[in-house]
Amino acid sequence: MKAAAADQSLLIELQLIDSAIMQAKSKLASLPEREQIVAIHTRLKASAEELAIVEAELADVTIDLRRSEIDVEQVADRITKDEVRLSTGNASPKELEQLQHEVATLGKRKAELEDGELEIMLKHDGVKTRVEELRSDEVGLQKLELELNVRLENAITEIQAEIDSKLSERANVLPKIESPLIDLYEKVRSSNSGVGAALLVGNMCQGCHLAINAVELERIKTLAADEVLRCEECRIILVRI
Ligand SMILES: [Zn+2]
């Protein structure tokens, strides 16, 4: 195949543009913010699940605590009443003795109930702290998610602008190259990970970075400048400088 040397040089320009587009697209697909956002979603989900459990536990413990407070209050009221009766002395000695005995028993009962109340109170505080921690984590994660979304959008906009600019460069270069050469370039490129043309520098193909053997190199030297070369190793279009 033959093509003007100038067109072959433009092919290298086109390749640089296409490589830049490929790199930008790959960067777009692998922006770290995407994975970070997914990780945050996972953490938010786990946090919300734990929060639901801990909030239910807090509701239960709050009821337990209220019950326990009522129990203590009731016993304390009975003690107060008994003590009032005792202090007025308005009872028979046997009754007074019974009252004293009751006050002592109630005092013991009250102490036990207060111990229980303290235990529930500690549990209540622990659960409440955990709820607060989880709520605060949730707020922090949501804030981070928001920031990451902004960063992701900015990065996408920036890369997309780069791609658009390269596409417009491509559109400018494309009409300057004769179409059979473009067709060959596209064909090679589609089967060669996006690389269709490379420079021949010295005896090296810049596509596969392998040396062209001496015999082939000698043959190349005899060829006219408009002869389109292909690398024997990678089949890429080799452009002479
Ligand atoms: Zn090669």
How many Å lie between the centroid of ligand 1 and the Cα of residue 161?
A: 32
How many Å lie between the centroid of ligand 1 and the Cα of residue 15?
A: 14
Query: Cβ distance 73 to 160 under 8 Å?
Result: no
Q: Which residues contact 14 (CB under 8 A, 6 or more apart)?
A: 170, 173, 174, 177, 185, 197
Average pLDDT over residues 100-116: 96
Q: Which residues contact 233 (CB under 8 A, 6 or more apart)?
A: 205, 208, 210
What is the DSSP code (8-state) at residue 213? P
Tell me, what's the pLDDT at 189? 96
Query: Cβ distance 124 to 65 under 8 Å?
Result: yes
pLDDT of residue 89 exceeding 80, the answer is no
How many Å lie between the centroid of ligand 1 and the Cα of residue 169?
A: 26
- Count of CB atoms situated within 10 Å of the CB of 74: 13
Confidence of residue 57 (pLDDT cuts 50, 70, 90): very high
Domains defined along the chain, listed by start: 5-25+178-240 (no CATH), 31-165 (1.10.287.1490)
Tell me, what's the pLDDT at 35? 96
How many Å lie between the centroid of ligand 1 and the Cα of residue 228?
A: 14
Which tens digits make up the pLDDT trace of 148-172?
Answer: 999 999 999 999 999 999 999 999 9
Packing angle between helix 93-173 and helix 5-29, nearest 10 degrees?
170
How many Å lie between the centroid of ligand 1 and the Cα of residue 232?
A: 7
How many Å lie between the centroid of ligand 1 and the Cα of residue 237?
A: 8
Q: What is the mean pLDDT of the chain?
A: 96
Beta-strand pair 197-201/237-240: parallel
Query: Cβ distance 183 to 11 under 8 Å?
Result: no
Average pLDDT over residues 64-74: 97
Which tens digits make up the pLDDT trace of 25-50?
Answer: 999 999 999 999 999 999 999 999 99
How many Å lie between the centroid of ligand 1 and the Cα of residue 193?
A: 13
List the structure tokens of 216. 């082939």
Ion ligand 1 nearby residues (CB, 5 A):
205, 207-208, 231, 233-234
How many Å lie between the centroid of ligand 1 and the Cα of residue 173?
A: 24
CA distance 170 to 36: 34
Confidence of residue 241 (pLDDT cuts 50, 70, 90): confident
CA distance 181 to 170: 15
How many Å lie between the centroid of ligand 1 and the Cα of residue 206?
A: 7
